């Protein structure tokens, strides 16, 4: 068994990586997008600049903003970081990992969303309310799909704790399981919805009728906005890593010598980059959907994940 | 040394004291309220103690009161299960009694407060007796007294016709349910002793009897229908959204928080304790009904804009969730999978206590809001967080808990239920393997919808600006109300953060009913980690998650406030055009619009926009008003036809009393002829 | 006198009772109805005496006297007085037309014969065969109450039933114990007074004795 | 000796009251004599409790566990009714509804009625039983028409004719019974004594007895108010003065049922089949259903409660027909509880009607506010009669229903429907009457609270504690009847 010091170090390292790398991942995605759409990109570092800019700005609060409005950014950021500390990204020797299994992770994200929606309604503008309403609607549709995807994985891995899922997969030989494939595809769709990407939501629009996430945070400014932005970047990144941990966990270090850690970091970067490409391809391939077409999109996700479960029982 | 059961009997008797006060110091209202509700709070607390003792020292105690029929005296029995429910009932009634001191004295003068006090105490005492009863007669007596008392409490403001209607509907359904339960006891006792003596009516006799499967099924179905009518399981739920809103809020807190739980108690008592051996389809039935109630309940709730009606529908949802746990447990039991049965059962029971706490809390909060605004329609509220900070904070806790979000208690029980679902693959029947996971998806949907619903509730009531037409100066609730809510919120947090301890304590129930301990098989991590079944499978540490989030938030806050940029307060940005009125906010109806669009086919929705005829000038927009009515389809499907049949039959019966004496003579003539012919 | 003859007398009287019953069933005129009722009572009392003689039961003589005094003299007299006092129209309209009523009556006779057959088998009394007649009389009395619209006729029907019962009591068994006989007679007497009072009340409140006005307590609306 | 006092007191009182007429003392004498009767009843009960059942007066009287509790009950209820009727009838007189002669008549006939009922219960002679039953009818006929309104007279007329016809059938049955008995026991009075009949019931001719039972069940059933022989009952109850409704519904129906059950025992003893039981069960079910559905549409408060009496008599008849120890026990208990509860309800209804000067349910409102005591006693009474705990009727219905589902499961749905509909109907109307605001024409009056409190307390107490001697009697009666 490894020494506690190492464990703490690994834990800290991972959290730092998560916090630091998340904007970069978003930057990477945006960059790819620009390339694909034949625009010149602002570079992978742009998100960092945005955050930095927002941090130095002053905060402008509406008169009737309550404490809900003010604590929400911290909660968003905090929950994201906490989740970041339990998903095995660079190593399976996370001593915090047992404190939250995959269901808890989803639930913690849900908490963040809950508060964000409340904050959206706090000011009492039509936009905030609209954003909150739509966000919760989308969430209620994604939840079953994501749960079924997780279900498939945890049936296969005989556990809902991420560590054991990762171990049982990465130790086992690379077998192509139809159930996992179905679940994987479903998971990608769900991640797109959860992270508010096209075709579910367009992060770069401020056209009121299509806004969802942006509508909720419309009233935010300064460091609050920075925290929320950063938090949602981390969230996006964590979903990706969660996908990695569940569906392609190969390469995540199970020992804690520096070499294997470094290797697993490297693998992680590669995987993340690839996933970024996939996301971008989907985004550019599809157009933003009307709100009530989303049911079909997420329905498809749910169908796939259910197929995953069924496939697990029938084929394996 | 006084035994728990004696303790709880004495405390139950203590509930008579306030009733005496009503007679003695009836004239000074304020004093009466203070004393009597404090007494009932104390008595409830004693019951909690008794329950805790009973569960921890873990063997059943019997007591026989010299009441009832000489051959069939009242049998009482305090075992782990009843102890647990004593705790549930006692805890909430303790909080609510404290709350009531402020709430009741805030009621308008001229309301029959004495009636309220009398039946309030009878009600709580009856609930305790239901949990203690150990023979059919006493159980039913307590059960019906409970129903009657709550009926009078719902009738509290009998000058309003809606109260009368609701109370009537409730009482009739409760009574029919009780008769069904009575019949199921009849079956059990009948096959036990063949009715040559009264001994068959005790639960002990029923336990010993080996009931033939057919009769057992009959008994189960009868009792389940009876209890479902009380618990508000769909399709027996129609009384619930009528009765809970009109009752005084402290009463609706109790009814929704704990009275429904007595039905859960009954179901568990009958199936797990008395019948014990049952086929898998019973569990499946319970599970399916639970799933339907859960999702339908939350969907109906989403459509409501009457605060208390909405909460009532959420009770339907949560009862559904509890039944999911119990149903799973029954399925596992019938397939001899004790460990999983234990897990599912504990999940159900844990959600029972959780729901008691947060639903009680929410109803108390609703009461406080009603007190402040005299409004039940959410679309007439808004921005209350500024006037009533405390209430809003407590209410928020309730919202988070009921939305099953960590680190509060609602999440833990749903998490346990999910774990139980995850164990379904070890069932022998392939079909169930396939289908039960879908149940998990439904549960997930329920949780998400609940979250949406409570974003709506909290957002519309407490956030934004005042939406009401008539402006009303709301004031914060009084101290006793706040204490009551604070205690409930605290309990919610504790149950959410330290579930391992509570489950350890409850585990003896699963040992008795599912024949195995849960934690003992997985207690490796101690109180910090909740690891049902075994840590390999799943683990959750409430404390760590809570500490983590709090820590990160504080650190970030501190880091950001070493050199804080200034915060300037400005009016809301009105997108450029002037006069952003508070009527432009999203309200309950508009919030739930997407859900209406998606799930609309489940409801009987009548939605229309009327354009006012007179057009002042083409340049001005036409004045239009929006009309929305959402009805429960079940009423039209089941209840309306039944009522019509009954009325029709009664008209037919009226024809007998024809008024002509000749006809009457013919009746008696024909009766003789027929009887003689049959001879 | 030999029993055979007495038995024949007995059955002959039974036939007469039945006949009067039918006659009452077909009778429209109220006065003659009362007269017929008196006749029936007379036959009854004779029969009772005969049976008493046959069975050497002396208390039957008393009940025969009672019958004579009440059913033949007192009640008809009361009824007559009432009819005169209340100026009751002579013609009584019925609900069913007479022939149908008669047919039903005959059916009843056959039915009661069929019913009492087993009883007759086991009885040893010479009067046993008259039980059917008694039952038929009771039934016809009931039928009469059903078919007549008038209070007085209903009462007469009622008394005819009483006669039938009495006939049963004396013929099927050689008379009930005396105390019972007396009690029954007393009851009939009280009943007579009561319906007397009733006639007055009804006629004063409804200014007619037709039962048809008394149909206000109904629920079929 | 005590027996004599018990029987004679009401008779003498009737004579006295008829003699002195409508004086101030009349109601007092009325109360006093019924109180005396009640004491005699108690003494008799003690006697029976000491020495068990006995025969007295040259085999003319017979007291056993079955009729002793009924006679005490009769004495008790008639006493409370006398207390209640004092103020009630006084007020009716003040309203000019009844005159002096009728008051004289009322008091005399009331005592006469009690006398008839006690005779019914205590006599050993089936024939005398019949006579007393007829007497009970005749003595109440003119009480029903006491108000001389057209409706009252109509009701009384129907009561008179229908019960007269019914009773006549019963006499025919009795004759047949005697006919069968005299072969075994021999002629003369002996052959009608129940004590003798029960001994030889095994050797009585089954065909005759089953023939007799048809007439008996139709005859006494008419007075019990079994559907379809019930039509007189709602009219008589709703049009007569309330104290009479109380005793009719609370006592007379019981007595008739008592007579019927006595006969059933004989028939069962002879036929050894469940023939009589089945007939009674059939009547019971029909009565429960019809009555409960009729309750739902009543506009007159007294009519509604009279229908509920029909329903409960149906339940008791059904239970007796069902037989078996539990069901019979339940039936006996049900007779007791029902008569106590129902009479108290009628007292309350009397008060309610006088306060609102109407019997129309639609015009009675806001009793909780208007007169809390009356309102609550009506509400609780209705709850009790509808079979809600903690009142005694629940206990009996509990026993009966549980026994039913065991023995004849297929009939339970019918009973369930009946009970549910009756409950719904009663609660709907009563809730309407007690709740809401006070109508303008409402006038609060001083009410006779003691009887109501006494009855309700008794029903409540008996639900929670049944004294040992009562239980012993019930068991003995069960042994006899089951």
3-state secondary structure of B360: helix
Partners of B584 on chain A (C-beta within 8 Å) are: 125-126
How far CA B413 is from CA of B233, B357, B497, B672, in Å, comes to 19, 13, 12, 66
Q: Find the mean pLDDT for residues C211-221.
A: 81
Does residue C52 contact residue C61 with C-beta atoms inside 8 Å?
yes
pLDDT tens-digit readout, A280-314: 998 888 888 888 888 889 999 999 999 998 888 88
Range of the domain at D323: 274-482
Binding partners of B (≥3 Cβ pairs within 8 A): A, C, D
The overall average pLDDT reported for chain C is 85
Supply the pLDDT for residue D225. 93
Chains A and C contact (Cβ–Cβ under 8 Å for 3 or more pairs)? no
Q: Label residue A27 by pLDDT band (50, 70, 90).
A: very high
Please report the residues numbered 194 through 253 in chain B whose beta carbons come closer than 8 angstroms to any beta carbon of chain D.
194-198, 201
Mean pLDDT of chain D: 92
The verdict on residue D418 lying in a domain is: yes
Q: Span B32-51, mean pLDDT?
A: 93
Burial of A44 (0-12, 13-18, 19+ CB in 10 A): middle
- Smallest CA-to-CA distance from C143 within C37, C24, C44 is with C24
Q: Closest residue of C to B674, CA-based?
A: C111
D382 CB neighbours in chain B (<8 A) are: none
Residue C1 to chain D, least CA–CA distance (Å)? 24
Q: Which residues 133-172 of chain C have a CB within 8 Å of chain B?
A: 142-143, 145-147, 149, 154
* Burial of residue D257, with CB atoms counted within 10 A of its CB: 0-12 exposed, 13-18 middle, 19 or more buried: buried
Chain B contact set for C145 (CB, 8 A) = 665
Task: For residue D465, report the phi and psi dihedrals to the nearest 5 degrees.
Answer: -145, 115
Q: Which chains contact C through at least 3 pairs of Cβ atoms less than 8 Å apart?
A: B, D
Q: Which of B521, B545, B579 lies at the terminal end of a domain, its last residue?
A: B521
Q: Is residue B617 over pLDDT 80?
A: no
pLDDT at B309 over 90: yes
Q: What's the whole-number mean pLDDT along residues D323-345? A: 94
% residues pLDDT > 70 (chain D): 100
Query: Which of D 193-232 lie inside 8 A of C, CB atoms?
Result: 205, 207-208, 211
Higher pLDDT, B426 or C123: B426
Q: Indicate the DSSP class of residue A200.
A: T
User: Would the CB atoms of C187 and D127 count as touching at under 8 Å?
Assistant: no
- Chain C residues within 8 A of B666 when measuring between CB atoms: 146
- What pLDDT score does B615 carry? 63
The answer to whether the CB atoms of D402 and B201 lie below 8 A apart is yes
- Using CB atoms, pick whichever of B654, B656, B659 lies closest to residue C216: B659
For the stretch B105-157, pLDDT in tens is 988 888 888 899 999 999 999 999 999 999 999 999 999 999 999 999 999 88
pTM as predicted: 0.94
Q: What is the pLDDT at residue B193? A: 67
Residues B418 and B475 in one domain: yes
Chain B positions in Cβ-Cβ contact with residue D423 (cut-off 8 Å): 172, 175-176
What pLDDT was estimated at residue D460? 93
Query: How far C193 CA lies from chain D's nearest CA (Å)?
Result: 10
B480 and B420 part of one domain: yes
Q: In terms of CA atoms, which chain C residue is nearest residue B668?
A: C142
Separation in Å, CA D210 to CA B416, C139, D180, D272, D482: 67, 18, 11, 11, 18
What is the rounded distance in angstroms from the CA atom of residue B273 to the CA atom of residue B266? 10
**Across the interface, do B654 and C220 touch by the CB < 8 Å criterion?**
yes
Q: Give the whole-angstrom CA distance, residue B262 versus residue B625.
A: 45
Q: Are B625 and B647 members of one domain?
A: no
Q: Which of C158, C183, C206 sits opposite D150 (nearest CB)?
A: C206
- Cβ contacts (< 8 Å) between D368 and chain B: which residues? 112, 158
* Number of domain units in chain B: 3
| Minimal Cβ distance to D151: which of C122, C168, C216 | C216
Residues B330 and B372 in one domain: yes
Q: Which residues on A lie below 8 Å from B572 (Cβ)? A: 62-64, 123-125, 219
For residue D427, pLDDT over 90 is answered with yes
pLDDT digits (tens, 9 = 90+) for D79-136: 999 999 999 999 999 988 888 889 999 999 999 999 999 999 999 999 999 999 999 9
Answer whether residue B634 shows pLDDT above 50: yes
Q: For residue B624, give its domain range.
A: 592-612+620-631
Determine which helix (DSSP H) or strand (DSSP E) holds B608, and give its type and residue range.
strand B604-611
Q: How many Å apart are CA A285 and CA B367, to the nearest integer? A: 52
Structure confidence at residue A29 (pLDDT): 92
The region of weakest confidence among A179-193, B12-26, D56-70 is B12-26
Mean pLDDT in residue range D390-409: 90
Among C105, C215, C216, C217, the strongest candidate for a mutation testing the B interface, having the largest count of B CBs within 10 A, is C215
- % chain B with pLDDT above 90: 57
For residues B553-578, average pLDDT:
83
Provide φ and ψ at B579, rounded to 5°.
Answer: 55, 75
pLDDT at res. C10 = 84
| Nearest beta carbon to residue B565 from set A77, A122, A222 | A222
Contacts of A127 in chain B (CB under 8 A): 575
Query: What pLDDT is attached to residue C126?
Result: 67
In the predicted model, what is the mean pLDDT of chain A?
88
Q: Check CB contact under 8 Å for C177 and D127.
A: yes
Query: Which pLDDT score is estimated for C205?
Result: 86
Residue in B182, B196, B646 nearest the CB of D296: B646
Q: Are B and A close enough to touch, i.e. 3+ CB pairs under 8 angstroms? A: yes
Parent domain of A251: 4-315
pLDDT at B195: 62
Question: Can you give the pLDDT at residue A207?
Answer: 66
Question: How many beta-carbon contacts under 8 Å exist across C and D?
Answer: 128
B299 in any annotated domain: yes
Q: Is the pLDDT of residue D304 over 90?
A: yes
Structural domain count, chain A: 1
| Shortest distance, CA D24 to any CA of chain B (angstroms) | 37
Is residue D350 assigned to a domain? yes
Looking at the fold, whether B624 and B656 belong to one and the same domain comes out as no
Tell me if chain B has a CB within 8 Å of the CB of A182.
Answer: no
Residue range B620-629: mean pLDDT, rounded: 78
State the Cα angle at D384 between D379 and D390, rounded to 5°: 110
Tell me whether residue D224 is in a domain.
no
Residue C220's pLDDT is what? 74
Provide the pLDDT confidence category of residue B11 given band limits of 50, 70 and 90. Answer: confident
Pick from A113, A126, A143, A226 the residue to mutate for testing the B interface (most B CBs within 10 Å).
Answer: A143
What is the distance between the alpha carbons of residues D185 and D196, in angstroms, rounded to a whole number?
Answer: 8
Domain count, chain D: 1
Q: Work out how many CB contacts closer than 8 A connect A with B.
A: 260
Mean pLDDT score across all residues of chain B: 89
Contact B674, D217 (CB under 8 A): no
Query: Looking at the predicted complex, does its ipTM rise above 0.85?
Result: yes
**D192 inside domain:** no
| CA atoms within 13 A of residue B166's CA, in its CB half-sphere | 26
Between B348 and C90, the more confident residue is B348
Measure C17 CA to nearest chain B CA, in Å. 21
> What percent of chain A lies above the pLDDT cut of 90?
47
Q: Assess A171–B contact: CB distance below 8 Å, yes or no.
A: no
Higher pLDDT, B361 or D444: B361
pLDDT above 90 for A213: no
Mark which residues 278-317 of D lie under 8 Å from B by CB.
279, 289-290, 293-294, 296-297
Most confident among A282-296, B194-208, C108-122, D95-109 (mean pLDDT): D95-109
Is B524 a residue whose pLDDT tops 70? Answer: no
> Are B328 and B447 part of one and the same domain?
yes
In this structure, the answer to whether residues B447 and B430 fall within a common structural domain is yes
Q: Do chains C and B touch (3 or more CB pairs under 8 A)?
A: yes
Q: Which of residues 132-161 of D touch C (CB under 8 A)?
A: 134-135, 138, 141-142, 145, 148-151, 153-158, 160-161
pLDDT for B536 beyond 60? yes
Predicted confidence (pLDDT) per residue in C181-197, tens digit = 888 888 888 888 888 88
Is the confidence at residue A2, as pLDDT, over 60? no
Q: What is the pLDDT of residue A292?
A: 83
CA distance B140 to B178: 7
pLDDT of residue B173: 94
Asked whether residue B177 is assigned to any structural domain, the reply reads no
How far is the alpha carbon of B646 from chain C, nearest alpha carbon, in Å? Answer: 16
pLDDT score of A174: 61
How confident is the model at residue B211, as a pLDDT?
A: 85
**How large a percentage of chain A has pLDDT more than 70?**
96
The answer, yes or no, to whether residue B205 has pLDDT greater than 90, is: no
* Distance from the C151 Cα atom to the nearest Cα atom in chain D, whole angstroms: 9
Task: Measure B190 CA to nearest chain D CA, in Å.
Answer: 5
Phi/psi at B352 (5° precision)? -55, -50
Q: Which residue of D has its CA nearest to C191?
A: D138
Confidence (pLDDT) at B111: 84
Tokens in use for D446?
């001083």
Pair B601, B662 in one domain? no
Domain co-membership, B491 together with B627: no
Q: Does B13 touch chain D (CB under 8 A)?
A: no
Distance from CA of B372 to the nearest CA of C (A): 51
* Residue B414 within a domain: yes
pLDDT of the residue at A1: 46
Of A275, A154, A136, residue with least CA distance to A215: A136
- Give the closest of D175, D187, D239 to C172, CB-based: D175
């Amino acid at each position: 068994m490894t020494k506690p010091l190492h464990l703490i170090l690994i834990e800290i390292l991972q959290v730092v990586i998560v916090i630091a790398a998340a904007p970069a991942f978003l930057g990477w995605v945006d960059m790819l997008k620009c390339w694909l759409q034949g625009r010149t990109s602002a570079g992978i570092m742009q998100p960092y600049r945005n955050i930095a800019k927002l941090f130095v700005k002053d905060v402008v609060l509406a008169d009737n903003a309550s404490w809900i409005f003010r604590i929400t950014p911290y909660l968003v950021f905090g929950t994201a970081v906490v989740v970041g500390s339990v998903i095995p990204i660079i190593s399976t020797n996370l001593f915090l990992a047992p404190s939250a299994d995959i269901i808890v992770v989803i639930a913690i994200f849900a908490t963040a969303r809950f508060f964000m929606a409340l904050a959206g309604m706090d000011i009492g503008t039509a936009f905030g309310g609209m954003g909150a309403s739509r966000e919760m609607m989308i969430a209620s549709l994604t939840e079953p799909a994501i749960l079924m995807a997780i279900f498939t994985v945890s049936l296969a891995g005989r556990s809902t704790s991420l560590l054991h899922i990762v171990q049982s997969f990465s130790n086992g030989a690379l077998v192509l399981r139809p159930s996992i494939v179905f679940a994987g595809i479903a998971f990608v769709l769900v991640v797109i919805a959860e992270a508010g990407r096209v075709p579910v939501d367009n992060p770069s629009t401020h056209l009121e009728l299509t806004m969802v996430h942006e509508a909720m945070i419309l009233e935010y400014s300064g460091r609050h906005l920075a925290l929320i932005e950063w938090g949602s970047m981390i969230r996006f990144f964590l979903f990706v890593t969660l996908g990695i941990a569940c569906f392609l966990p190969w390469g995540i270090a199970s020992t804690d010598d520096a070499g294997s850690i470094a290797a697993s970091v490297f693998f992680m970067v590669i995987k993340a980059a690839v996933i970024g490409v996939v996301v971008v391809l989907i985004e550019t391939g599809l157009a933003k959907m009307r709100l009530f077409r989303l049911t079909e999109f997420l329905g498809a996700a749910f169908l796939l994940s259910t197929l995953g479960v069924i496939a697990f029982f029938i084929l394996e | 040394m006084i035994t728990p059961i004696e303790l709880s009997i004495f405390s139950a008797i203590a509930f008579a004291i306030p009733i005496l006060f009503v007679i003695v110091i009836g004239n000074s209202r304020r004093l009466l309220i203070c004393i009597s509700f404090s007494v009932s709070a104390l008595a409830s607390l004693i019951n909690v103690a008794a329950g805790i003792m009973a569960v921890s020292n873990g063997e059943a105690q019997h007591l026989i009161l010299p009441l009832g029929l000489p051959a069939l005296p009242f049998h009482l029995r305090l075992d782990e299960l009843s102890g647990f429910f004593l705790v549930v009932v006692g805890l909430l009634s303790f909080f609510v009694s404290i709350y009531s001191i402020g709430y009741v004295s805030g009621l308008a003068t001229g309301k029959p407060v004495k009636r309220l006090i009398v039946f309030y105490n009878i009600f709580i005492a009856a609930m305790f007796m239901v949990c203690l009863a150990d023979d059919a007669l006493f159980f039913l007596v307590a059960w019906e007294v409970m129903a009657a008392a709550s009926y009078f409490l719902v009738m509290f403001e009998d000058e309003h016709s809606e109260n009368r209607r609701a109370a009537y509907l409730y009482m009739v359904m409760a009574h029919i349910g009780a008769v069904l339960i009575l019949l199921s006891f009849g079956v059990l006792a009948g096959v036990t002793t063949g009715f040559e003596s009264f001994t068959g009516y005790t639960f002990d006799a029923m336990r010993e009897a080996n009931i033939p499967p057919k009769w057992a099924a009959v008994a189960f179905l009868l009792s389940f229908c009876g209890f479902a009518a009380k618990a508000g399981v769909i399709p027996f739920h129609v009384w619930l959204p009528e009765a809970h809103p009109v009752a005084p809020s402290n009463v609706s807190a109790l009814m929704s928080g704990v009275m429904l739980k007595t039905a859960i108690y009954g179901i568990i008592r009958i199936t797990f304790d008395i019948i014990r051996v049952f086929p898998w389809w019973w569990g499946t039935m319970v599970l399916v009904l639970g799933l339907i109630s859960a999702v339908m309940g939350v969907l109906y709730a989403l459509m409501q804009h009457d605060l208390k009606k909405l909460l009532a529908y959420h009770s339907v949802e949560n009862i559904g969730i509890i039944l999911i746990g119990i149903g799973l447990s029954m399925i596992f039991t019938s397939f001899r999978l004790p460990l999983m049965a234990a897990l599912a059962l504990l999940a159900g029971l844990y959600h029972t206590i959780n729901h008691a706490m947060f639903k009680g809390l929410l109803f108390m909060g609703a009461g406080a809001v009603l007190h402040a605004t005299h409004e039940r329609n959410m679309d007439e509220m808004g921005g209350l967080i500024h006037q009533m900070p405390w209430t809003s904070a407590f209410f928020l806790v309730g919202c988070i808990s009921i939305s099953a979000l960590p680190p509060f208690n609602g999440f833990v029980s749903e998490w346990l239920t999910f774990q139980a679902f995850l164990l379904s693959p070890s069932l022998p029947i392939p079909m169930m393997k396939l289908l039960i996971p879908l149940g998990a998806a439904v549960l997930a949907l329920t949780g998400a919808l609940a979250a949406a619903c409570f974003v709506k509730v909290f957002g519309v009531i407490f956030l934004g600006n005042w939406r009401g037409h008539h402006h009303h100066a709301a004031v914060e609730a009084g101290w006793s109300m706040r204490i009551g809510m604070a205690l409930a919120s605290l309990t919610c947090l504790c149950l959410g953060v330290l579930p391992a301890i509570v489950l350890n304590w409850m585990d003896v129930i699963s040992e008795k009913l599912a024949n195995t301990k849960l934690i003992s098989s997985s207690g490796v991590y101690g109180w910090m980690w909740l690891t049902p079944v075994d840590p390999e499978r799943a683990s959750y540490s409430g404390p760590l998650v809570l500490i983590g989030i709090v820590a990160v938030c504080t650190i970030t806050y501190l880091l950001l406030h070493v050199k804080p940029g200034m915060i300037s307060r400005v009016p809301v940005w009105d997108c450029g055009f002037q006069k952003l009125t508070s009527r432009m906010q999203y309200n309950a109806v508009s919030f739930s619009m997407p859900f209406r669009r998606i799930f609309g086919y489940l409801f009987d929705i009548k939605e229309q926009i009327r354009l006012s005829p007179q057009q002042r000038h083409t340049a001005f927009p036409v004045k239009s008003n929006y009309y929305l009515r959402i009805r429960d389809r079940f009423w039209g499907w089941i209840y309306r036809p039944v009522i019509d049949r009954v009325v029709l039959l009664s008209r037919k019966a009226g024809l007998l009393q024809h008024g002509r004496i000749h006809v009457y003579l013919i009746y008696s003539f024909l009766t003789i002829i027929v009887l003689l012919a049959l001879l | 006198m030999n029993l055979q003859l007495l038995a024949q007398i007995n059955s002959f009287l039974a036939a007469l009772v039945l006949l009067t019953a039918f006659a009452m069933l077909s009778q429209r005129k109220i006065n003659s109805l009362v007269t017929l009722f008196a006749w029936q009572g007379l036959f009854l009392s004779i029969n009772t005496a005969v049976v008493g003689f046959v069975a050497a039961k002396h208390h039957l003589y008393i009940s025969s006297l009672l019958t004579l005094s009440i059913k033949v003299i007192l009640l008809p007299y009361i009824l007559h007085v009432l009819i005169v006092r209340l100026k009751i129209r002579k013609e009584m309209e019925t609900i069913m037309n007479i022939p149908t009523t008669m047919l039903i009556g005959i059916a009843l006779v056959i039915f009661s014969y069929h019913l009492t057959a087993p009883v007759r088998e086991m009885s040893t009394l010479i009067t046993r065969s008259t039980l059917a007649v008694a039952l038929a009389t009771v039934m016809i009395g009931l039928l009469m109450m059903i078919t007549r619209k008038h209070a007085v006729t209903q009462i007469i029907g009622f008394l005819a039933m009483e006669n039938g019962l009495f006939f049963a009591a004396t013929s099927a068994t050689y008379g009930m114990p005396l105390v019972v006989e007396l009690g029954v007679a007393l009851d009939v007497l009280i009943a007579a007074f009561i319906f007397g009072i009733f006639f007055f009340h009804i006629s004063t409140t409804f200014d007619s004795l037709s039962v048809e006005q008394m149909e206000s307590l109904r629920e079929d609306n | 000796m005590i027996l004599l006092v018990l029987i004679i007191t009401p008779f003498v009182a009737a004579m006295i009251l008829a003699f002195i007429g409508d004086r101030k003392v009349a109601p007092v004498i009325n109360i006093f004599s019924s109180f005396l009767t009640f004491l005699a009843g108690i003494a008799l009960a003690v006697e029976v409790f000491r020495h068990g059942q006995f025969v007295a007066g040259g085999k003319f009287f017979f007291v056993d566990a079955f009729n002793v509790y009924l006679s005490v009950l009769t004495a008790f209820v008639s006493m409370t009714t006398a207390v209640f009727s004092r103020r009630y009838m006084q007020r009716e007189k003040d309203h000019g509804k009844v005159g002096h002669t009728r008051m004289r008549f009322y008091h005399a006939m009331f005592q006469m009625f009690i006398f008839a009922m006690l005779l019914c219960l205590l006599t050993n002679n089936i024939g005398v039983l019949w006579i007393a039953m007829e007497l009970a009818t005749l003595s109440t006929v003119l009480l029903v028409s006491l108000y001389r309104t057209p409706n009252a007279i109509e009701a009384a007329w129907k009561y008179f004719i229908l019960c007269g016809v019914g009773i006549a059938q019963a006499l025919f049955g009795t004759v047949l019974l005697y006919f069968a008995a005299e072969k075994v026991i021999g002629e003369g009075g002996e052959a009608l004594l129940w004590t003798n009949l029960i001994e030889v019931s095994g050797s009585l001719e089954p065909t005759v007895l089953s023939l007799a039972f048809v007439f008996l069940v139709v005859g006494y059933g008419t007075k019990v108010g079994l559907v379809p022989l019930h039509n007189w009952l709602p009219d008589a109850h709703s049009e007569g003065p309330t104290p009479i409704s109380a005793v009719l519904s609370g006592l007379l129906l019981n007595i008739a049922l008592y007579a019927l059950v006595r006969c059933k025992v004989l028939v069962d003893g002879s036929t050894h089949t469940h023939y009589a039981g089945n007939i009674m069960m059939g009547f019971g079910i029909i009565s429960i259903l019809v009555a409960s559905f009729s309750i739902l549409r009543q506009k007159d408060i007294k009519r509604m409660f009279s229908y509920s009496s029909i329903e409960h008599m149906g339940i008791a008849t059904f239970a007796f027909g069902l037989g078996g120890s539990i069901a019979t026990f339940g039936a006996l208990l049900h007779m007791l509880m029902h008569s106590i509860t129902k009479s108290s309800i009628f007292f309350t209804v009397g008060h309610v009607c006088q306060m609102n000067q109407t019997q129309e349910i639609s015009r009675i409102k806001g009793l909780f506010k208007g007169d809390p005591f009356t309102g609550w006693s009506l509400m609780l009474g209705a709850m009790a009669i509808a079979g809600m705990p903690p009142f005694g009727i629940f206990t009996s219905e509990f026993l009966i229903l549980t026994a039913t589902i065991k023995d004849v499961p297929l009939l339970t749905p019918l009973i369930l429907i009946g009970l549910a509909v009756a409950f719904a109907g009663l609660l709907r109307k009563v809730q309407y009457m007690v709740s809401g605001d006070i109508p303008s024409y409402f006038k609060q009056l001083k009410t006779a609270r003691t009887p109501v409190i006494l009855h309700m307390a008794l029903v409540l107490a008996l639900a929670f504690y049944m004294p040992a001697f009562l239980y012993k009697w019930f068991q003995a009666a069960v042994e006899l009847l089951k």
